[in-house]
Amino acid sequence: MQQRHNGNVVNAGLLAVAGSIAILQYGALPLLVHLSRAEAFFFVIVVAAATPLHYGLMHETMHGHLFGDEKVDRAIGRMLGIALGLPWETTRFGHLAHHSQNRHSFDRPEALGPGQARFPAALVYYSKLLIGHALSYALAPLAVLLPVGTTGPILEWMDGEQESEPVRAAALRIFTNMRRRNAIRFDLAAIAALLVVAIWLWGSVWPIFACCIAARWSVLSLLDNAPHYGMPLDSGLDARNTSIPFLAGVLVMNGNYHGTHHHAPQLRWHELPDAFARSGATPEGNWVAALLRQFRGPMHLQ
C-alpha cells in the first residue's frame, strides 16, 4: 500500500511536469515571454525531450496503472491524448492490440514481403519512422466522423491481411460502439479547438507551435517500433530490454524495459527495473542504439 502511495506521488509530480510543458506549448509561453530564435529552438527541443514522459503517462492510463482508478486514469489519459493530438480510445486500442497480436501485419513496418523491392518499401518505411506512425494514430480516428456502417470497409482497407482478422474483429466491435465513437468525436473536437486557440495565442510566431507538434510526433514515431525492430515474426511476447541512465529512464518511464513490460503488463512503470533484475537477463545494448538501429531500413524477417 505504501509503495502504491509513493508511486502515485511520483506520478502526480511527473504529470505536473508534462502538463506544465503542454500548457506552455499550447499558448501560455508566448503570453509570458517574447522568444528569440534560439529560445524558440530550445523550447522545441524541450517539448520533444518531454514527449516520452507525456506518452509514458498516457501509456500508464491505458493499462490502468497511473493512479489505479479506472475513471481517473481514463479522464487523465484522454486529456494527455488531446494534448498530443491522439484520441485516447484509438491509441489505447492500437497499443493493446500490439500486446495481444505482437508483430501482426500492421505491426512490423520494417518487414519486407516475399519478392518486395527494397527501394519503394524504404520510402514508405522511412516516412513512417520519421513521423508517419504518429500521423496514422492522429488521422485514423477521423473515421468515426463517417457513418458507422463504413467502419468495416475502412478496417479492411487499412489492413486486409488474413492474419489480422482477430485485430479487425476487435476493432469493429469497439469502434461501432456508440459510446466509444462519441468519446472519440469529443476528443477530436477538443483537439481541433485546442489547436485553434493555440495558433491564436501564438499569433505571428505560430510556426514555433507547429514545430512543437511535428517534434512530438517525430519522437513518437521513432519510439513506436524500436524495441521490436528486426525481431523474428514469431517473437510473441518478446521485445528488447535496453540499458539507460537512471534519470533518462525516468524521462522515458522505463520504456527501455519493453520486453519486461510485454511479459508482465500488470506491472507499473517503476516496478519494471526490479522485475528485469529478477529475470536474470542482460540488456540488449542501450536505448539510444535501439532507436538508431531502425535507420538500417526494411529487411527480410524470418
pLDDT (0 to 100) of residue 1? 62
The predicted model scores a pTM of: 0.95
SS3 257: strand
Average pLDDT over residues 114-140: 94
Distance between alpha carbon 48 and the CA centroid of its chain, in Å?
13
What rounded mean pLDDT belongs to the chain?
A: 94
pLDDT (0 to 100) of residue 163? 75
Domain ranges of the chain: 2-147+180-296
Nearest to 224 by CA among 74, 78, 64, 51: 51
Average pLDDT over residues 262-282: 96
pLDDT digits (tens, 9 = 90+) for 149-171: 999 999 888 877 777 788 889 98
Q: Name the grid cell of 92.
A: 489505447
* pLDDT at position 185 over 70: yes
pLDDT (0 to 100) of residue 234? 85
Out of 124-133, 226-235, 245-254, pick the least confident: 226-235
Return d(Cα 223, Cα 293) in angstroms, integer: 12
pLDDT (0 to 100) of residue 2? 64
pLDDT digits (tens, 9 = 90+) for 222-240: 999 999 999 998 888 899 9
Side chain identity at residue 291, one-letter code: L
Distance between alpha carbon 32 and the CA centroid of its chain, in Å?
30
Pair 260, 272: CB distance under 8 Å: yes
3-state class percentages of the chain: helix first, strand second, coil last, to nearest 5: 75, 0, 25
Return d(Cα 126, Cα 128) in angstroms, integer: 5
* pLDDT at position 54 over 90: yes
* pLDDT at position 209 over 70: yes
